[in-house]
Amino acid sequence: MEIAVNGYFLNVPHTGSAQYTYQLLRALQRLGGGLQIAAHVPYFMRDTLRPVGGIQARAPLAGALGRGSLGKLWWEQMTWPRLAGKSGPNVVGHVPYFAPAHYHGFPLVTTIHDLIPVILPEYRGNFLVRLYTSLVMAAAHKADAVITDSHASKRDIVEHLGLDEMHVRVVHLAADARFSPGLRSEDVKAVRRRYDLPERFLFYLGGLDVRKNLGVLFEALPKLPPDVTLVVAGRTRHGKARLFPDWVRQATEADLGPRVRFLGGVPEADKPLLYRAATVFVFPSRYEGFGLDPLEAMACGTPVVCSDAASLPEVVGEGGILVPPDDADAWAAAIGRLWESERERRFYADRAVAQAQGFSWEQTAAETIAVYKQVS
């Protein structure tokens, strides 16, 4: 069986779709099982493609319009389906993000990680963005199978897209093996020195858009002991104030001063070390299709306080403390419980590691292969 993958996001490593595609391809390659895998990418990515060992990357010059929204749409609906269809008589196509092709002459699987632009008004965008969303919503009905990251996302897809629940398969994601409690203490100390971090701190890592709900942490912080510092890591986006709040300004207006530190974007290599250095990882998001950031923190053995919204209880389980996303008093109580008790931190660190070990990319790949076989 040959698997033709739409690799559009392989060159955008900081997106969730890119991380999923990259990790899935690596795990599929490790499992083998007679699969032949080709990842197709637009021609302008041919010199900068993030490498995936053992996977053939094909970057055609013909039929791609180039960068931009129109080029992306043409790639998804015209160029990639034609290329995938030429791959062989036993090909299964996989679009690993919410952009299935309307017309295809082969079995097609698409992964829909979440329905953020459908469910959350702030993310619906302008007329053209809404038109694109309507297009891919309709195309989802023409896919032979839809994979999604969580049972919570499956419920959303069935409800909002009107797909038959038997058509939607839940395949959980996982933390990469580099997220581990076994990191060298010298490396953890080095990253703490490099970022000039205190010996103990709360840590948030993730997007800085409005659904991430950092404001509740700013409300909770004054209710905690004065030595509690919040460190925020994530790439700042400017413009579209409704979608990307000015968290720095909000922290300043809350008179939090040095109690909140913003690191900006951090290198991938530093993420496991920052998780491990943190006293508590906090994640107050109102909506996630899966929630990879708290899972990575748990895999590093860091106690987690997380919101109980959407898919997050499914991911965190009993490995962390779950609280309502907008209840600042509950956040302060949960954080304070861990901050003040080493025994509690050890208890939840052990539970975090055990919970994270229930997810693996090999399992993700095996369950994905099962979907390929079902539709072929």
pLDDT digits (tens, 9 = 90+) for 69-81: 888 899 999 999 9
Per-residue pLDDT at 217 exceeds 80: yes
CA-CA distance, 201 to 259, in Å (whole number)?
9
Q: How many CB atoms lie within 10 A of CB 34?
A: 7
- Locate the DSSP E strands across the chain: 2-6, 36-40, 56-58, 91-95, 108-111, 145-148, 168-170, 202-205, 230-233, 260-264, 280-283, 304-307, 321-323
For residue 245, report the phi and psi dihedrals to the nearest 5 degrees: -60, 160
Confidence of residue 41 (pLDDT cuts 50, 70, 90): confident
Confidence of residue 152 (pLDDT cuts 50, 70, 90): very high
CA-CA distance, 180 to 275, in Å (whole number)?
10
pLDDT at 21: 93
**CB-side neighbour CA atoms (13 Å) of 108:** 26
* 284 or 47, greater pLDDT: 284
Lowest mean pLDDT among 49-63, 178-192, 326-340: 49-63
Q: What is the value of pTM for the model shown?
A: 0.92
Residue 270 DSSP one-character state = G
Per-residue pLDDT at 261 exceeds 80: yes
Give the pLDDT mean for 36-59.
65
Q: For the domain covering 2-174+360-375, report its CATH number.
A: 3.40.50.2000
- In the chain, which segments carry CATH 3.40.50.2000? 2-174+360-375, 185-356
Give the pLDDT mean for 281-306.
97
Contact, 173 vs 150, CB < 8 A?
no
Give the pLDDT mean for 112-121.
96
Give the pLDDT mean for 287-291.
96
Per-residue pLDDT at 328 exceeds 70: yes
Return the bridge partners of 316, or none.
none
Give the pLDDT mean for 134-155.
97
pLDDT at 209: 95
pLDDT at 62: 44
Contact, 2 vs 92, CB < 8 A?
yes
CA-CA distance, 14 to 267, in Å (whole number)?
10
pLDDT at 175: 97
pLDDT at 71: 84
Superfamily the domain 185-356 falls into? Glycogen Phosphorylase B; (3.40.50.2000)
Mean per-residue pLDDT of the chain? 92
Per-residue pLDDT at 33 exceeds 80: no
* 58 or 313, greater pLDDT: 313
